[in-house]
Chain A
């Protein structure tokens, strides 16, 4: 089983719609969870971090964490063409003092005008 898995893409949504991105992780000891946005040819940009169960909202973005189900998601409301990018889920922690980020392969999101 892969350590971090993301829903297979690509995902295409119309402008103004809600985009839903999902991620599961295998290490129950994981402590922190992040979503990064990566435009083509660029480096990952941190857009959301979440550390405890529940929802965390920041503008049009909402991260949801369920540690019992080992599941983390990102919702993008009122999607814009500028949101078109690859979204990377990253998990930190687990297995003792393990401070590295483990990434999924990413989900390519396209927002159509």
Chain B
């Protein structure tokens, strides 16, 4: 049973650049949520995708955007990178919209210099 996968594992970018992170959900799951985790903090919700639509959004600027594909995989795009965007980006998958369990992938460590 394939778990949640994310790519790349690590990424180093320069301020002002753009980045795309990718996520494939756990087998049988159709909902993908993205979180940002700064050092020493709990994950912060960015947005959630279901049926290829953004269903909910956290308190993140429009520089953060995403997409979900017909095979349920998802991308997170961040434009005009700031130093403060350096964090661990986590993808979580779940089944349907609801209060269900969410399972996290290994994360992508983004460093902005």
Contacts and interface: CB of A to CB of B under 8 A. Distances in A.
Interface size class of chain B, counting residues whose CB lies under 8 Å from the partner chain:
20 to 34
A101 B40 contact: no
B97 A43 contact: no
B99 A32 contact: yes
Nearest to B100: A32
Interface string A71-90: 00000000000000000101
Q: Which of B45, B88, B102 has the most CB of A within 10 A?
A: B102
B70 interface: no
A86 to B, nearest CB: 9
B99 A31 contact: yes
A44 B105 CA distance: 8
A46 B33 CA distance: 15
Contacts of A62: none
Contacts of A32: 99-100
Interface in A1-40: 4, 31-32, 34, 36
Contact of A43 (B33, B42, B104): B104
A99 B56 contact: yes
Given A43-B107, A44-B104, A45-B104, A100 B58 contact: yes
A100 B88 contact: no
B101 A46 contact: yes
Contacts of A51: 99
Contacts of A97: 56, 97
Given A42-B106, A43-B105, A99 B99 contact: yes
Given A43-B107, A44-B90, A97-B97, A102 B45 contact: yes
A43 B88 contact: yes
B92 interface: yes
Interface in B38-94: 40-45, 48, 55-56, 58, 88, 90, 92
A106 B42 contact: yes
Interface of A: 4, 31-32, 34, 36, 42-46, 49, 51, 88, 90, 92-93, 97-106
